[in-house]
Structure 1
Amino acid sequence: MYQDNGKPTILGDCTLLIISIIINSLGNALTVSLNLGSALWTASAVNMAHLFRMNLGNILLLEGIAIILSNALILRNFDWRRMLGNVLFMVPFSYLVSGIAQMLTVFHIQHLSLVPSVILDIIGVMMIGCGVSIYQRVNLILHPNDDFMQILRFKYFHGNAVIASLVAFIVPITITTICFLIQRHLWAVNIGTVVALLFQGTFIALSDRYVFKKLKHQRL
């Protein structure tokens, strides 16, 4: 999977990308199904889905398109290859999260008692951080939300994942707050959201160090 110089082969890049998407999708779907707090971006999408009465996959897709445009403005460059990569990542990912979340409800995990539910929710948030870490390092194609965080991380914060995550989260927090002011109700915001807010950058940084340790950041 790796070349002699330590970099992944083309097949290695693709394999790691697929693994990371599956890990991230499952983590997001797990937090949505449990409704004990999703990662900030997912929580904002869930609340918009309720506000506009739309399918979660469609909302994730529309939110991603908006972030693609924002990223281009930050970089002051409409990099069509990068934007196409964002779309290629985002479309299957959006509907994979929605589909797995619906599938998990068949197992009635939403009816688990509090302690195992909280543990599973935190594991879901950790899986999201792990998935983000892998595909950010591969950097072949990225979800626009994570591309946004990566742009902040290396353009403004000297590679610090923790600070970049906290700054990036201002956007979904604002979206969720607006939805709450309109609906007077919150969905997918709970202990898992707090864990994601405080520790997702840490989970990414730890995964950088310990998950697929030979994999370094590429194509920056």
Structure 2
Amino acid sequence: MSEKVANTFDGRLIFLMLSILLNVFFNALTVSTNMGSAVWTASAVNLAHLFNLSLGNTLFLEGVIVAIVNLILLGQFDYFRLFRNLIFIVPYSYLLAWFKQLFFAMGIPFLPIGWRFVLDLVGLTGVAVAVSLYQRANVVLHPNDDLPFILRFRFLHGSPCWSQWDSNIPPIAIIVVTAILTHQLFAVNIGTILNFVMQGYIIGWADQHIFPQLHHHLDFKSTLH
């Protein structure tokens, strides 16, 4: 796809749909390996066990809360941004839960640990690439990824690494609290640590090397004209 086409509204919609599929597929893969999921996903898995909710419903409710926090950080109640966040949450939450069930049915949780670790690394990398794509497209964002996007360009001078690290503080707190209450940890393993340390770097790398013709659109409304 040419640079001109990629940065049109239709081109960004194509990248959005691709990124959603990549995100749910690879996030579900990390959950099924039990070798450590992305930090926000791991927090949702632990909340689901704490409150005995389905993973899909937990992801949805967590996303709504984060979307409201994002508006507070922006200092204004942007109904349009909230609507875009909600558009992303619904397919993301329930497609991820569906893919997780599919991977469980395929027997991925029962593979040897070495294979599960490799699949987990593939999944974590795929998630970071997906985040890079839909942050650049900036048509709609999942609230969990809109948070580092806001931090990155509003408070942290464009740094993908610091924005990812700072935005991971809330889900880490959730994981700690749920572990204290349940005396169990779910979807937290070495992959979670790797995700915390490396996701920002991988996003920055993907910005430059995965469909580099797609550029960041910081002001969504202005791109409609």
**TM-score normalised over the length of structure 2:** 0.95
Determine the structure 1 residue equivalent to 2:190. 191
Q: Once superposed, which parts of structure 1, at least 4 consecutive aligned residues long, lie more than 6 Å away?
A: none
In structure 1, distance between residues paired with 2:218 and 2:70: 17
Quote the offset at 1:107 in angstroms: 1.0
Structure 2 gap segments, 5+ residues each = 220-225
**Which amino acid is 2:131 matched to?**
V
Matched, 1:87 2:83: no
Determine the structure 1 residue equivalent to 2:107. 108
Q: In the TM superposition, what whole-angstrom CA distance separates every residue of 1:61-84 from its partner, at most 9, and x where no partner exists?
A: 000010011011111111111100
Please tell me whether the aligned partners of residues 149 and 165 of structure 1 are also in contact (alpha carbons under 8 angstroms). yes
Residues 3 and 199 of structure 1, relative CA distance in 2, 3 Å threshold: closer
Please tell me whether the aligned partners of residues 7 and 215 of structure 2 are also in contact (alpha carbons under 8 angstroms). no
In structure 1, distance between residues paired with 2:169 and 2:3: 39
Quote the offset at 1:2 in angstroms: 4.4
**Which amino acid is 2:76 matched to?**
N
In structure 1, distance between residues paired with 2:152 and 2:128: 15
Determine the structure 2 residue equivalent to 1:211. 210
Matches within 5 A, 1:1-220: 1-2=1-2, 4=4, 8-220=7-219
Determine the structure 1 residue equivalent to 2:223. none
In structure 1, distance between residues paired with 2:185 and 2:110: 19
In structure 2, distance between residues paired with 1:87 and 1:179: 25
Quote the offset at 1:106 in angstroms: 1.3
In structure 1, distance between residues paired with 2:184 and 2:71: 33
Quote the offset at 1:11 in angstroms: 2.2
Q: Secondary structure of 2:127's partner?
A: helix
Quote the offset at 1:3 in angstroms: 6.2
Please tell me whether the aligned partners of residues 2 and 12 of structure 1 are also in contact (alpha carbons under 8 angstroms). no
RMSD of equivalent CA atoms: 1.1
**Which amino acid is 1:187 matched to?**
F
| Aligned length in residues | 219
In structure 1, distance between residues paired with 2:3 and 2:201: 29
**Which amino acid is 2:202 matched to?**
F
Q: Secondary structure of 1:215's partner?
A: coil
